[in-house]
Amino acid sequence: MPFNLADFPEAFDPPSWSMGRSAWLMHLPLAPILMKLLRPRTFVELGVHAGDSYLAFCHAARMLSLVTQCTAIDTWKGDAHTKSYGPEILERLRAAHDPHFRTFSRLLQSTFDDAAPSFPDGTIDLLHIDGAHAYQAVRHDYETWLPKLSSRGVILFHDTCERTEDYGVWKLWEEISPQRPSANIPHGHGLGILAAGPEQPADFLSFLLDIQSRPGLVRILETMGNRIYLLDNFRVAVECLHQCQVLANHWRKNSGQPILSPTPNIQLALTDPPYFGTSVVRDVHQLAMDALNLVAEVMALREKPPASESP
């Protein structure tokens, strides 16, 4: 049967977390779709960084009441594309991950090669490869972890459409995708879906065929991803507005004026993540007005000397 998006209402839920402005935000609606079609017993992600994609799969497993054991593997030190970073990335991810998913998920700080022996061959149903993106690196990850896949194993490759710098996922994808049922979703730098194992659910194979043959379906998925990306940009704007309010209060204090509380719109957006999915369109205009008023106030206050410097 043709794939029917109406059978996957979970794909329309906006995320209740945001770990950073990841390109994977464009693919978040696919996480519950894939989890519902595949119902994997084991999910492994190679290359996690801030964790937007990994949290999406964990959230889908919990929302769908799946018995899925999830493992995120990363050094959390950075690579040639993410650049090096400190422990704060992993600490922030643990704070978002542990309260909700620690009963069936673990964050494994390790290189991919060191972690591989702890997974017996033939045991992974869903593997997401999103580590170093140079051709030799991603081919090495693919060849190292391919034996770990079960007979129903599926591999996801991120950045299959990215050809800048030394990205080489596209090249590996061109080599391996014709060998098995597959589909490549072009938006969000590209996401390749490869049915590596010979035993695949019929509905999943139908989904792959529909991605290839129904451009309208891909456009809908892109629109859904764009919505999430827009909401995340909105979150960033709200955080900037909050910082603007902090700055305004700093100038109020130095000018001897009373400190004001955050405006209700900004305070709600900062403290209630579902707000982004329900009220974003209604309140964008008001938030924009808040921003203009704050900027005008800060500029005016900057022209006044602090109270301590007044003659």
Per-residue pLDDT at 219 exceeds 50: yes
Residue pair 35/61 in contact (Cβ under 8 Å)? The answer is yes
The per-residue pLDDT for range 89-115, each reduced to its tens digit, is 999 999 999 999 999 999 999 999 999
The confidence band for 126, taking pLDDT boundaries of 50, 70 and 90, is very high
Per-residue pLDDT at 274 exceeds 50: no
Residue pair 177/155 in contact (Cβ under 8 Å)? The answer is no
pLDDT computed for residue 287 by the predictor? 63
Q: Which fold has domain 5-213?
A: Rossmann fold (3.40.50)
Per-residue pLDDT at 182 exceeds 80: yes
Q: Which residues contact 73 (CB under 8 A, 6 or more apart)?
A: 44, 45, 46, 47, 48, 108, 110, 112, 115
Angle at 50 between CA 80 and CA 246, to 5 degrees: 115
Q: Is the full-model pTM beyond 0.85?
A: no
The confidence band for 148, taking pLDDT boundaries of 50, 70 and 90, is very high
The two tokens of residue 218 are: 């891909």
The residue among 39 and 253 whose pLDDT is bigger is 39
Strand partners, 192: 157, 184
Domain residue spans of the chain: 5-213, 228-304
Distance, CA of 20 to CA of 49 (rounded, Å): 10
